[in-house]
């Protein structure tokens, strides 16, 4: 190998050398692969009595080291507080009967959620005919109606419903409840302390942990279990299911079996195709290299932006067509880390990390990387300096909420004149090569989102401060981090250390950045199925989504009907709240009513695409052009074709879910994300709300739980998404999703007087969040930014109030209060409504994770989303019998009235 490398300067030689090395280190594996080439490797039969879909016999040795709790202060437990209140509550009645432990748990205990080095088998899955996951819990004997401290907070003990479902609902709440805390002083601690104390993120090996994370893991395991019986080459299954199974099988094999050097060969072949060589180890670029063509190629084939990023979405000013939006890129770290002086250390740490990664990369493919140490060091420094320059030229988040300023439509010829040093032809030809090459000189519309950034980029590439080799070093480094999970070893560890999130995931989709992931997902389960399903779900959303919904059987229709009724009731009550506003003119109220009537509601799954779950022709036609050849690669050799299969999946995502839309009519019912994704969202450009089936599980909803639980959880979420249609971004878009009544500086359907009233309401929320400093400032932890989080804060406040009113209307129509939860008989249904809301936002996270959330996430930290919401809603204080002046029940003049007239 040494002799070969000393005479080889091109990348072809490196690939050949690595190929030889791979043969030496893996001769047994390769010999087995050669035997398998004549026909596809059969899928091993399902393992009896196991829910695992790991189709290999490779196991890891169990760790003999005991898990010890780190003595570190970096774990944020700012909300675990003890109240000094003298209020007393009756202890929970101890269980008398135990439900058999064969049912599956979703709320993990401390002993079962710890990080392990061994591959573990998923827990036994529940039957697919139920909505919720089942967990072991204890039943209680119904208590008599015992008189007690007859106050609002401690009423007499009501009669409970001891059904299995009510007991399960109670178990969720009890897993977080800390009754040593006065709910009127710190409601988040009251609902979440127990959960926080039992889930240490460092011990779990994650940046943050929450009930929604547990739910997503369970759903991923359920999808993997449903795929066990799917045969990749059997026509009994839909093409979509077979592609999904092929990806899962190959991914699991890759994660448990392949060696890093095998993976590096595949990666280097892609580097050679894109660039011809690696500049930081002395390689020349390929003949005729075109920088902007490479940028477009990376976006189309790897869904990775570099110096800019393209996205196809509905034309904000012409809803009958799509447009290509070209924006500033998403950087791997928060913009503030690059531009604020207090984060200089972050840049120094990043430069060192990049230097180490590039040197290790060189060490992996060369016998002796030392001769290139100086070039590697310079490359790392150049990359960090370039990222900082990009950050300085980019618009901050506070400027990204006004869409009149970000809608700058161009014809291609005008774009070339405005930014002449950017090779638009090369970029667009490479980007759109498989999507029909729209006529951007004619009717196809190009929109530049941040004009000043592209002015800077035009100057950058026309100057002498950067050259192609330096920019290629930047792109290769990004690609190393993008493929870190595939490369494994030190590269995966570096990505974890840097909290690197793949570009497409951190960029999100559409105006609302639906599905945006700001934190790297750490897998602490040891079950390879879970991260594999997560990856497939992002890049082929309707594959796992179809499997999940199909597996639900007939109950899916009952849930859809129930959620529809709930949502309509919440929407009705929100509009009633709005009708009473004095600051809103009658013209604005009529416009708001029109927008509400025009809102598209997507429940559970895309009905047109999924059909009747028997005829899958439409679904398969949707996937086959972009994903279909994955099965061919699988049949060739699934053990060594994962990189090609994965890249085809990512390319399929970029084309099918974005670029190909340029020649299709907009669909306002487009989910954008998977029905198996635990989230909910509002799309301003479509004026649509979407509630995926995955979200309609505990701790947010269950068809058989009390409605107090369901309205406190999913009802509040539904209200939250509805209110987004009327927040500072939503009011810019009309009933059909188009920008409404635009002037040179802003768009929106509100009258001038109504805008003033809306701004006053919003400013109250901004000021409140800024002045109260939530969470409490400690060390490097900052206060949540009231301006950048205002949209989410307003949605939280308006949505939860609308849901509460909807719940009370539901009870009024029903004619009687609901029975209480067993073990929680002392809490009224109204109180359960609020407690469910609080528990849904339980989070435990490291300090580093919290800092990044505050800097990048439009959502406030969980403690703020609970405490600062309930303190602005008087009904909460009344339901818990709080005294005016307590933290959660301030005086009226200290509250913000959001979408209500008080």
| 299 pLDDT more than 70 | yes
So what's the pLDDT on residue 39? 38
pLDDT tens-place string over residues 794-812: 999 999 999 999 999 999 9
So what's the pLDDT on residue 524? 57
pLDDT tens-place string over residues 708-757: 999 999 999 999 999 999 988 999 999 999 999 998 889 999 999 999 99
| 625 pLDDT more than 70 | yes
Task: Find all residues with CB under 8 Å of 188, minimum gap 6, and list them.
Answer: 79, 838, 841, 862, 863, 866, 867
| 156 pLDDT more than 70 | no
Residue 672 near residue 690, CB atoms below 8 Å: yes
CA pair distance 859, 793, nearest whole angstrom: 7
So what's the pLDDT on residue 628? 96
CA pair distance 15, 11, nearest whole angstrom: 6
Give the mean pLDDT of 543-558.
95
Q: What is the pTM of this model?
A: 0.83
Q: Which residues pair with 447 in a beta bridge?
A: 325, 409
pLDDT tens-place string over residues 767-802: 988 888 777 666 666 777 888 888 899 999 999 999
In terms of Cβ atoms closer than 10 Å to its own Cβ (0-12, 13-18, 19+), residue 560 is middle
Domain edges within the chain: 2-36
Closest C-alpha among 455, 449, 463 to residue 417 = 455
In terms of Cβ atoms closer than 10 Å to its own Cβ (0-12, 13-18, 19+), residue 808 is middle
CA angle, 333 then 337 then 339, to 5° = 125
CA pair distance 849, 846, nearest whole angstrom: 5
| 135 pLDDT more than 60 | no
Per-residue 3-state assignment (H helix, E strand, C coil) for 201-262 = HHHHCCCEECHHHHHHHHHHHHHHHHCCCCCCCCCCCCHHHHHHHHHHHHHHHHHHHCCHHH
For residues 85 and 879, the model is more confident at 879
């Amino acid at each position: 190998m040494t002799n070969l490398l000393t005479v080889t300067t091109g990348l072809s030689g490196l690939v050949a050398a690595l190929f030889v090395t791979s043969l030496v280190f893996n001769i047994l594996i390769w010999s087995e692969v050669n035997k398998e080439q004549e026909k596809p490797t059969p899928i091993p039969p399902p393992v009896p009595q196991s829910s695992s879909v790991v189709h290999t016999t490779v196991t890891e040795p169990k760790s003999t080291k005991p898990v010890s709790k780190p003595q570190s202060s970096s774990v944020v437990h700012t909300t675990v507080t003890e109240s000094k209140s003298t209020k007393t509550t009756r202890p929970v009645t101890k269980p008398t009967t135990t439900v058999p432990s064969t049912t599956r748990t979703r709320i993990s205990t401390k002993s079962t959620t710890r990080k392990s080095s061994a591959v573990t088998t998923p827990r036994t899955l529940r039957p697919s005919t139920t909505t919720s996951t089942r967990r072991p819990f204890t039943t209680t004997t119904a208590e008599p109606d015992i008189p007690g401290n007859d106050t609002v907070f401690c009423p007499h003990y009501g009669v409970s419903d001891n059904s299995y479902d009510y007991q399960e609902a109670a178990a969720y709440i009890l897993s977080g409840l800390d009754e040593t805390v006065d709910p009127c002083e710190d409601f988040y601690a009251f609902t979440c302390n127990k959960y926080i104390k039992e889930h240490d993120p460092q011990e779990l090996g994650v940046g943050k942990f929450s009930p929604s994370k547990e739910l997503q893991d369970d759903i991923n395991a359920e999808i993997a279990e449903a795929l066990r019986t799917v045969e990749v080459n059997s026509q009994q299954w839909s093409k979509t299911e077979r592609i999904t199974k092929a990806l899962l099988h190959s991914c699991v094999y890759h994660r448990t079996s392949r060696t890093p050097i095998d993976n590096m060969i595949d990666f280097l072949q892609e580097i050679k195709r894109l660039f011809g060589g690696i500049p930081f180890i002395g390689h020349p670029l390929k003949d005729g290299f075109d920088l902007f063509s490479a940028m477009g190629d990376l976006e189309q084939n790897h869904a990775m932006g570099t110096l800019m990023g393209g996205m196809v979405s509905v034309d904000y000013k012409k809803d009958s067509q799509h447009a290509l939006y070209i924006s500033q890129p998403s950087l791997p770290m928060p913009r503030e880390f690059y531009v604020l002086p207090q984060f200089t250390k972050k840049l120094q740490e990043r430069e060192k990390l990049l230097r180490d990664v590039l040197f290790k990369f060189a060490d992996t493919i060369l016998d002796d990387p030392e001769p290139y140490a100086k070039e590697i060091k310079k490359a790392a420094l150049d990359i960090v300096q370039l990222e900082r320059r990009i950050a300085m030229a980019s618009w901050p988040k506070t400027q990204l909420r006004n869409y009149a300023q970000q809608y700058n439509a161009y014809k291609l010829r005008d774009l070339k004149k405005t930014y002449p040093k950017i090779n638009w032809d090369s970029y667009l030809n490479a980007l759109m090569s498989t999507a029909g090459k729209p006529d951007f000189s004619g009717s196809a519309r190009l929109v530049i989102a941040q004009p000043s950034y592209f002015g800077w980029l035009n100057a950058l590439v026309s100057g002498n401060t950067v050259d192609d080799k330096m920019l290629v070093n930047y792109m290769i480094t990004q690609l190393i981090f993008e493929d870190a999970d595939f490369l494994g070893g030190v590269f995966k560890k570096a990505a974890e250390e840097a909290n690197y999130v793949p570009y497409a995931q951190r960029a999100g989709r559409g105006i609302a950045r639906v599905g945006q992931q700001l934190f790297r997902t750490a897998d602490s389960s040891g079950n390879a199925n879970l991260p594999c399903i997560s990856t497939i779900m992002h890049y082929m959303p309707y594959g796992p989504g179809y499997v999940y919904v199909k597996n639900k059987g007939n109950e899916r229709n009952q849930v859809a009907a129930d959620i529809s009724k709930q949502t309509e009731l919440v929407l009705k009550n929100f509009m009633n709240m709005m009708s009473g506003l004095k600051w809103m003119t009658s013209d604005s109220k009529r416009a708001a009513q029109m927008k509400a009537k025009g809102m598209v509601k997507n429940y559970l799954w895309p009905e047109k695409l999924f059909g009747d779950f028997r005829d899958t022709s439409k679904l398969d036609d949707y996937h086959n052009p972009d994903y279909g050849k994955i099965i061919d690669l699988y049949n060739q050799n699934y053990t060594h074709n994962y990189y090609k299969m994965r890249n085809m999946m990512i390319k399929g995502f970029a084309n099918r879910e974005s670029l190909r839309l340029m020649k299709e009519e907009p669909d306002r019912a487009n989910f954008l994300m998977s029905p198996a994704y635990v989230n909910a969202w509002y799309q301003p450009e479509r004026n649509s709300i979407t509630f995926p089936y995955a979200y309609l599980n505990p701790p947010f909803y269950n068809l058989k739980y009390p409605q107090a639980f369901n309205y406190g959880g999913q009802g509040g979420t539904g209200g939250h998404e509805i209110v987004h249609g009327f927040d500072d971004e939503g009011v810019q878009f009309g009933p059909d999703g188009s920008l409404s009544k635009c002037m040179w500086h802003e768009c929106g359907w509100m009258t001038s007087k109504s805008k003033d009233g809306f701004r006053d309401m919003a400013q109250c929320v901004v000021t409140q969040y800024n002045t109260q400093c939530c969470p409490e400032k400690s060390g490097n932890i900052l206060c949540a930014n009231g301006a950048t989080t205002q949209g989410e804060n307003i949605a939280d406040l308006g949505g939860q109030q609308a849901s509460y009113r909807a719940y009370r209307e539901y009870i009024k129509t029903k004619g009687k209060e609901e029975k209480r939860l067993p073990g929680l008989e002392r809490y009224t249904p109204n109180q359960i409504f609020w407690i469910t809301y609080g528990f849904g936002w339980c989070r435990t996270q490291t300090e580093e994770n919290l800092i990044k959330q505050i800097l990048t996430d439009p959502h406030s930290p969980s403690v703020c989303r609970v405490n600062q919401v309930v303190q602005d809603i008087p009904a909460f204080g009344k339901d818990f019998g709080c005294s005016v002046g307590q933290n959660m029940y301030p005086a009226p003049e200290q509250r913000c009235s959001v979408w209500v007239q008080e």
